[in-house]
Amino acid sequence: MNWLIITGKKDKRHTEKLTAFFDSKKVHYTVLKADAQKFMCAHESSKYLQTFYNDIQKTTHCICFGTDDIPLSPLFMYAAGLFTGKKIPVFLVPGSGKLPDFMAGDLGKVFTDADTLLASLKKDFPMYVKLEVQEKVRKKLFKLGIPLTPDSFSNYIARGDKDTSALFPKAGMDVSIRDSAGTPMLCIAVRCKKLPLVSWLIGQGADINAASEDRGYTALMDAVWINNYEIAEALVKAGACMNTVAKDGQPLMVLAAGICNMKICRLLFENGADVSVKDRMGLSALDYANVFKKQPLIDLFSSGRP
């Protein structure tokens, strides 16, 4: 971040409080004393003018103290227009005078005094740091030619590219977002059998029970469908729901019984999956085990839970 502090003649004490705060955060800042003589006669001092232009071009956040002590010269109006156009946050402490209407409206946040401003900065500073990181990562993705879109995110998850995938949430994208087909990122990682990405998404706080738009499967249902015990186990340990029902009315345990992977069935059953939930045919996992004479499943489902 590059903070620009524009101050008049009367705000030395307030400026010192701010610079002490920025020093404690190890943040770059520049203090610009915009007294009337310099602001109104800047055209006569090419050095001052060049310094001013350099400072405002690098600015990411601006604080303006005592606007009644700062003349609304063409130089100041240029900076106000630039900050508005670039959507740079501006924090204003008017002083004793009335704040010009254009500044109070579009330019920035207004604070009654320096102490209120400083308290607000201390409270919101982690957010400003987070937003700065997001902006840097967005620029990095742009330079790499990678669109910041859900479909692009899903593409790198499907590849198993964790390093590139990690850039998307750092740029501000929700890890629970869906691709254009309505498939959650976690389901994509499961379907592509990318256990490291599954674990990473869980750790990032992805919605573990979000269902896809196509079959209505959750990530755990997808793991059962592809017959992958390791991924199913990771999802169960992370607290995935044991009794979800797909769009077609198929409960998780009916799906598992159909796959007939004893290891997966035992994992689900021992972690609370209900074998009595019926599908649209009116049959449960236990019913199917009996119909198709799957004795190992009958024995498992008829036994008591550990």
Whole-model pTM over 0.85? no
Q: Which fold has domain 146-241?
A: 1.25.40
Residues 219-264 pLDDT 10s: 999 999 999 999 999 999 999 999 999 999 999 999 999 999 999 9
DSSP E strands: which ranges in the chain? Answer: 2-7, 28-33, 61-65, 90-93, 109-110
Q: Which two tokens stand for residue 278?
A: 């019926």
Q: Find out whether 177 and 204 touch, Cβ atoms under 8 Å.
A: no
Give domain 242-306's CATH superfamily. Ankyrin repeat-containing domain (1.25.40.20)
Q: Which CATH class is domain 2-139?
A: alpha beta
| Domain boundary assignment for the chain | 2-139, 146-241, 242-306
Residues 69-118 pLDDT 10s: 666 667 777 777 788 788 888 888 876 445 454 455 455 688 888 889 89
Q: Find out whether 33 and 10 touch, Cβ atoms under 8 Å.
A: no
The rounded distance, in Å, linking the Cα atoms of 280 and 250 is: 7
Identical topology for domains 146-241 and 242-306: yes
The full 3-state SS of 89-152, as one line of letters, equals CEEEECCCCCCCHHHHHHHCEECCCHHHHHHHHHHHHHHHHHHHHHHHHHHHHHHCCCCCCHHH
Separation in Å, CA 217 to CA 178, 182, 296: 13, 11, 26
